Structure formats: C-alpha cells, structure tokens
C-alpha cells in the first residue's frame, strides 16, 4: 500500500468487478495522479491509512436490485471526500443514499448521446456537440441493464438520454457524482476529460505522478528501507528486472549484487548484451552464472510443456540459491514485481469480483525458498509506467519496448524435448526473423514475433543434393492484452525474404512455414 507521505495526491477505486475497471486505473494514472484498485468492501481503517483525495466506485456485472448484491460500506459517504459512482457504482450510491434503481425493460449497450440539462463542475464546458435546444451533447458508451428511477435528496439531474433520465447526477455540496455511462473507455470521447475534472477540480489533486518524481520517491524509499544492507536481484534482461536493477543501483550502488543466470534458452547474444549494458555501461555488480548444462540435463527426455516449465523454474531456483549463498551478509532479495501482478494475485487469492485479465506465468517460488526480506520497488507501477521510468533512468528505448520473451525462453518454442542443437538452430532463425522485421520497419507494428522449432524432418533440395532437415515456423501476432491475438498479415515479399535467409543461412533447416492461427483458439506460444 502507498505511503501517504510519498504520494501527496491519490484516488482510490473500489472494484465491483467491471471488465473496464483496469482501464479506470490506467486513466487516472495517465492523468498523473496515483491511484490504487481495492475490493469494494474495504475496511475503514485501510481507507484512513490510504487517505485518498477522492473515491471512484467502479461498474460491475451484478444488479443492485438483487438480494445480497454488493454495497460499499456506509462510511464511504461520511468521509467528506468526493465520490464518483460509475454505472453499478452509481446505482449502489443512489440506493445507499435513499434513491431507487430498477431493472430496465431494455438493456442499453453501445454508443448514445447524453444531453446536458443543468450545470455541473463535472462537465462544465465539456461537450462533443450542441443540439437544437442549445444544450451540450456528449457521445458516451453505455453498458447497463438497470437504471436509476429516483435520485436521493439533494441530488440533481445533470444530464439525460432519450431512455435514461438520470445519465449524470450530482450532489454538488457533498461532491457526490454518478454517471450511468463509462468515462474510462475510449468510446466515451470526453471520458478522460470528465475524469480529469473529477480528479483535478473536484478532488483537488495535482499531477505529481510523473517519472522523475516517482524515481525520486522510490529511491528515497529504498534507501530508508535498506540502509547499509546488501541486496541480491535475479537480473534476466527483461524490462521489469532491468528497471529494478537500475533503480536500486542509483539508490544503493554497490550494495546491489545482480545474479544473471544463463540457462542456455535465451535469445541470440542476450547474455553478452546484459553483461555489456549493465556491467560495462552502468557499472552494476553482476555475477554471471553459466548454467546451461544444468538446464539441458534436467530437461533431457521431457516432452510435456508444463513439466518443462516446472523443471526450468525449479532449476533456476536451485542455481540462484547456490550462487546467492556464496555472497555473505545478504539481507534482501529484490524482485521486479509490477502492479498487475499484485492485482492478479490479489484477485486469485481473495476471489475478487473481476475476471482475471491475464494469468501470469512466472509466479516465483524464490521468496518463499530464500530466507530474505523482499523489496519490490516497482510494485505500484504498470508496465508502461515501468517503461517510462526506464527511459528516464537512461535505459535504451529498444530494450524497453522489445517484444515480450517468456521466462522458460526457447524451451517452449522447441516442441517436445529440448536439445542444445535445436536451441542453436532456433536462436539463429529467430535472430534472422527479428533482424528482418527491424529492417522492414515492421518490428514495432507487431506485438510479438518469434520462431518455433518443429522437430520434424522434411525433404528439400539444395543445389543438386537432397536434404532432409528440420522445420521452422514463424509467428507474428497483434494484440492489446495478450489474452486474445490476431496473426499478422505480413507482406509476402517479406515472408519470402525471411524464409530464403533462414533456409540458405542455417544448415539444418529445410522448410519455413507461417503460423496463421489467432488466439483463441490457438495460444500465442506453441506450447
Ligand atoms: P499464450 O501462449 O498463453 O501467451 O497465448 C500469452 C503471452 O504470455 C507469454 N507466455 C509466457 N510468459 N512464462 C512467461 O513468462 C511462460 O511460461 C509463458 N507462456 C506464455 C507469451 O510469450 C505471450 O506473450
């Protein structure tokens, strides 16, 4: 949980499980104001510790008209701070303060126009259009089955649609607002503007959640916590562990020891890049562990993707522990945990109302195994915030905006048993594909691209001889959240170039295929 002395302004979002709630958190953070997402039934004590400048009640899949549907604790409306209820959040606020909500005859879903009928600071001078009565119009996105049928005392109607009388309501004196539509989705054109009004003009927050300030606060916090202790960190070269490493380096310098485990399943030249950038350029203390033999030995004969993942996780912990035990006097283990990891694990452990957006694959067993205190400097940040901080800290753009690479590495891109020989072929093919994507200016247009090794031999012809060699598949997807994805329609001449290069330059590959499966039903990785 945030420390109020660090982040002067903050908004608390209480989650009723809407699929849009995570967008709401992103919007507020984008506005430069720190915010956290908690379950709707939070205790009063936790709220007073957090001391938010405003509270937003999210939408949700339930109906307030049903028995035992969720309600916020009553004290939320007695804290003397602004409250904005969105959809379900508005309904519960209305009912808890004495109004009524009924099931609508017709579910309203999609675009609609809201007509402003009375002035309110929430929407003052915000409009998409003006209608023939001279009233301001907002184009908004609705998704609701219930609607408010009477509003509590001291509330007024600010805006209506043709079918929804209470589209925006307000009790200006108490700073309570309700909106039937979803300002957090991009379809609501002025949505961010409305949230900005709430956060800046109603809750009086200031945009202090910006990279340079966040860095200063984290560094201060780390120094206070760590003092003169030693910290170890598993540096993988991925975004989160890299940004964690640099932050800690600026905070505590040589007290940080990074352990880089080369498992033999990395991309081409990865280990060398990590050594050069973090060791030579930034001057970090790096312990390089060449452990590929351990990993390959442990993977011998194993075909099953999930067991392969488990083996890699287990061997990593064994190798890391062994190396860590050689460093004397270490008190802390640093990890690159980010905010979505925290939200997801909170939801999976407390059975929160929202659907899990993305299950994370690398739930580390490390902290439990190693008897060290845990420090997670990025645990309040989203991935894009981590990237911005990384840039501010001087990490290269290309590294921070690379496609994601899975923890088990090439092992899940080699179907079935993993062998060193396959890894070498795959690594080479992958580097050709990625290099060509960059050259064709396509790398940043796809969300993730990689190659897969198919341990199947097929016949080919090279010169006058017959070949009987392995197959490489190319995969390139476009996605927003990696939960669903479309295969990318890469130009034929580009595919042709990549295929020619792979077959001609790599001895052992006789055929290249392109994967045209979307997710679902296929997954992005082949295993
Ligand atoms: P799937 O294959 O589940 O992939 O559609 C979705 C995203 O998750 C990545 N992925 C993993 N990442 N460990 C990771 O760190 C894993 O075991 C793992 N499996 C899949 C995948 O690369 C894609 O970005």
pLDDT digits (tens, 9 = 90+) for 21-48: 888 999 999 999 999 999 999 999 999 9
Instruction: Identify whether 87 is a catalytic site residue.
Output: yes
Distance 406 CA to ligand 1 centre (A): 5
End-to-end Cα, the chain, rounded Å: 36
Ligand 1 center to residue 26 CA distance, Å? 22
Q: Catalytic: 182?
A: yes
pLDDT in tens, 70-109: 999 999 999 999 999 999 999 999 999 999 999 877 777 8
Tell me which of 21 and 427 has the higher pLDDT.
427
pLDDT at 63 over 80: yes
Pairing of strands 230-234, 34-39: unpaired
Mean pLDDT value across residues 156-183 = 96
What separation in Å is there between the alpha carbon of 24 and the centre of ligand 1? 25
pLDDT of residue 3: 52
177 pLDDT tier (thresholds 50, 70, 90):
very high
Is residue 311 scored above 60 in pLDDT?
Answer: yes
365 vs 154 pLDDT, higher one: 154
- Which of 241, 482, 483, 485, when mutated, tests ligand 1's pocket best, judged by the most ligand atoms within 8 Å of its CB? 482
Quote the pLDDT of residue 357. 28
**Sign of the torsion angle spanned by Cα atoms 165, 57, 211, 362:** negative
Residue pair 264/312 in contact (Cβ under 8 Å)? The answer is no
Predicted pLDDT at 121: 97
Tokens of 299: 């993977």
Q: Which pLDDT value is given to residue 361?
A: 42
State the pLDDT at residue 480: 84
C-alpha distance from residue 490 to each of 378, 441, 485, 514, 522 (Å): 36, 12, 15, 10, 18
At residue 179, the pLDDT reads: 98
DSSP state of 451: E
Q: Which of 87, 164, 203, 258 is catalytic?
A: 87
Residues with beta carbon inside 6 Å of ligand 1? Answer: 309, 361-362, 404, 406-408, 448, 482, 519, 523-525
Give the pLDDT confidence of 112-136 residue by residue, as tens digits.
999 999 999 999 999 999 999 999 9
Run of H or E including 141: strand 136-150
Nearest one of 178, 112, 101, 109 to 146, comparing CA atoms:
101
Choice from 239, 365, 406 to test ligand 1 binding pocket (greatest atom count within 8 A of CB): 406
Indicate if the pLDDT at residue 360 is higher than 60. Answer: no
pTM for this predicted structure = 0.84
Q: Please, are residues 139 and 185 in contact by the beta-carbon 8 Å criterion?
A: no
Give the pair of three-digit tokens for residue 60.
């949700």
Among protein residues, the one whose CA lies closest to atom 7 of ligand 1: 482
What is the pLDDT confidence band of residue 350, given thresholds at 50, 70 and 90? very low
On average, the pLDDT of the chain sits at 92
Of 167 and 371, the one with more pLDDT: 167
- Which atom from ligand 1 is nearest to the alpha carbon of 527? 2
Quote the ligand 1 centre to 169 CA distance (angstroms): 44
Average pLDDT over residues 322-333: 94
Task: Note the pLDDT of residue 248.
Answer: 98
Nearest ligand 1 atom to the CA of 309 is: 17
State the pLDDT confidence band at 463, using cuts at 50, 70 and 90: confident
Peptide bond into 158 cis (omega under 30): no
- How far is the C-alpha of 102 from the C-alpha of 186, rounded, in Å? 28
Q: What is the pLDDT of residue 369?
A: 65
Catalytic residue chosen out of the listed positions 136, 175, 182, 249: 182
Q: Which atom of ligand 1 is nearest to the CA of 407?
A: 15
Ligand 1 atom at minimum distance from 448 CA: 24
And the tokens for 241?
């562990």
pLDDT confidence bin for 189, thresholds 50/70/90: very high
> For residue 137, how many other CB atoms are within 10 A of its CB?
16
Structure confidence at residue 343 (pLDDT): 75
Active site residue 164: no
Model confidence at 344, pLDDT cuts 50, 70, 90, reads low
């Amino acid at each position: 949980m945030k420390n109020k002395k660090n982040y002067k302004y903050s908004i608390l979002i209480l989650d009723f499980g809407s699929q849009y709630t995570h967008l709401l958190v992103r919007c507020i953070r984008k506005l430069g104001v720190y915010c956290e997402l908690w379950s709707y039934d939070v205790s009063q004590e936790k709220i007073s510790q957090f001391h938010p400048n405003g509270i937003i009640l999210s939408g949700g899949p339930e109906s307030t008209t049903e028995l035992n549907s969720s309600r916020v604790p009553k004290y939320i409306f007695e804290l003397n701070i602004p409250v904005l209820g969105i959809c379900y959040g508005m309904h519960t606020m209305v009912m808890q303060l004495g109004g009524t909500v009924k099931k609508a005859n017709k579910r309203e879903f999609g675009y609609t126009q809201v007509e402003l009928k009375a002035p309110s600071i929430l929407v003052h001078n915000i409009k998409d259009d003006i209608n023939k009565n001279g009233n301001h119009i907002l184009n908004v996105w609705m998704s609701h089955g219930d609607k408010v049928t009477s509003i509590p005392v001291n509330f007024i109607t600010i805006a209506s649609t043709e079918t929804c009388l209470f589209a925006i309501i307000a009790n200006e004196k108490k700073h309570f607002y309700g909106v039937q539509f979803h300002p957090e989705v991009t379809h609501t054109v002025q949505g961010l503007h409305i949230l900005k009004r709430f956060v800046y003009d109603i809750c009086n927050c200031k945009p202090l959640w910006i990279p340079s300030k966040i860095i200063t606060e984290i560094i201060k916090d780390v120094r206070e916590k760590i003092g003169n202790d030693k910290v170890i960190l598993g540096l993988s070269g991925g975004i989160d562990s890299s940004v964690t490493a640099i932050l800690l380096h600026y905070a505590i310098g040589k007290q940080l020891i990074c352990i880089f485990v080369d498992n033999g399943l990395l991309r081409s030249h990865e280990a060398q890049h990590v050594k050069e950038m973090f060791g030579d350029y930034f001057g970090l203390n790096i312990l390089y562990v060449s452990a590929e033999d351990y990993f390959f030995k442990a993977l011998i004969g194993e075909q099953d993707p999930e067991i392969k993942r488990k083996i890699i996780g287990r061997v990593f912990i064994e190798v890391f522990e062994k190396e860590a035990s050689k460093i004397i006097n270490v008190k802390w283990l640093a990890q690159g945990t980010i905010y979505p990891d925290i939200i997801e694990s909170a939801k999976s452990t407390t059975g929160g109302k929202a659907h899990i957006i993305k299950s994370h694959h690398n739930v580390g067993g490390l902290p439990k195994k190693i008897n060290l205190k845990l420090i997670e400097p990025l645990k309040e940040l989203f991935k894009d915030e981590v990237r911005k901080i990384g840039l501010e800290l001087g990490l290269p753009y290309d590294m921070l905006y690379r496609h994601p690479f899975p923890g088990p590495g090439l092992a899940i891109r080699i179907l079935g048993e993993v062998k060193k020989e396959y890894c070498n072929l795959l690594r080479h093919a992958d580097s050709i594909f990625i290099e060509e994507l960059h050259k064709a200016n396509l790398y940043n247009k796809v969300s993730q691209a990689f190659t897969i090794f198919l341990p199947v031999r097929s016949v080919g012809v090279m010169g006058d001889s017959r070949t009987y060699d392995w197959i490489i598949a190319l995969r390139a997807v476009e996605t927003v959240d990696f939960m669903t994805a479309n295969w990318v329609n890469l130009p034929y001449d580009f595919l042709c170039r990549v295929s020619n290069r792979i077959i001609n330059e790599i001895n052992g590959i006789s055929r290249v295929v392109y994967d045209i499966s979307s997710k679902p039903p296929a997954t992005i990785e082949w295993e």
